[in-house]
Structure 1
Amino acid sequence: MDRDTKALVDEGPLSTIRTRHLFTIQLDVRPVVTVGSTPNGFRRVGFVTGGEIVGERIRGKVLNEANDWQVKRPDGSLTLDVRLVIETDRGMLVTMTYRGVRHGPADVIDRLKRGEIVDPASYYFRIAPTFEAADADLAWLNGILAIGTGHRFPQGPIYNVFEVL
């Protein structure tokens, strides 16, 4: 790698990722349904019954009956594949799809399963959402990537979602 390229990668605009808070989303969920061991891992399906989204540029509610297709992998981590619909406070619909992963020390994950509140810094819970919006005022969502950090409460997860700039 030449000196100019190395400087660009090591010290320039490619050396960091900037983000901006997009919204906080809280999901209400029913208990997961266990499908069982499949060729892809131990399959569970979660059902989202609602929720709330609060941000400077977008706010609204999560519509009922979204799904979270989870796989518990042999290493104990949980992968998420979620599809939901947001209705903004102006009545516009936005789809949000995200994949994620949650893992941590076995004792922390066991406490989460029992519904105990744990320190969110004690385990890893991250998502990568994408969006689809038909409304012209929300079309900017179609062209962004986002990342989020989550925490699991007994009634459902909460995520802080950030636009990657």
Structure 2
Amino acid sequence: MAEIRTTPLMTLKLAVDGMQAVGETPSGNRRVGLVAGGTFEGPKLRGKVLPGGADWIMVRNDGVTTLDVRIVLETEDGATIGLQYRGLRHGPDDVMAKVNAGQFVDPSLYYFRTTVTFETASPKYAWLNKAFGIGTGSRPPEGPVYEIFEVL
């Protein structure tokens, strides 16, 4: 079996503008984080995150937080790219209590990983339609930050 290789794609920083609580459902505690904007920058593309995206967050009964995010990126040359990622965040109870309270926690103390897909009509960035990304995340007080890698 071939090894999995990656190359850095971008650093993605999101600004969240509040949460909408759905509440305790049969699957866990659901809330929706509203994405107000942000930035992304990498070797092949850079730009801003357009407002209007959302993160459908579920805190499962086992304490794992699942993420289901859809956002739209706008490159500095005006192309738009749909980005969707699903992720998992978990760690020791005391560490996650600090993360969930908005405190800075060293990202090496908890697990925060994402799988990323893209969709664009731009010929220049059409290569993203054929690529998967994987990412590592952290949750500083100012909003989530992801290091996203293209899977080669």
- Root mean square deviation of aligned Cα: 0.9
Which of residues 100, 111, 136 in structure 1 aligns to 2:87? 100
Which of residues 28, 37, 55 in structure 2 aligns to 1:68? 55
Aligned counterpart, 1:114: 101
5+ residue gaps, structure 2, are: none
How many residues are aligned here? 152
Deviation at 1:34, TM superposition (A): 1.7
Which of residues 113, 133, 149 in structure 2 aligns to 1:146? 133
TM norm structure 2: 0.97
TM norm structure 1: 0.89
Aligned counterpart, 1:6: none
SS of equivalent residue, structure 1 residue 110 = helix
Q: Which has more strand, going by share of residues?
A: 2
Q: Which has more helix, going by share of residues?
A: 1
Deviation at 1:32, TM superposition (A): 2.0
Q: Which has the larger radius of gyration?
A: 1
Which of residues 39, 50, 62 in structure 1 aligns to 2:37? 50
SS of equivalent residue, structure 2 residue 96 = helix
Aligned counterpart, 1:25: 12
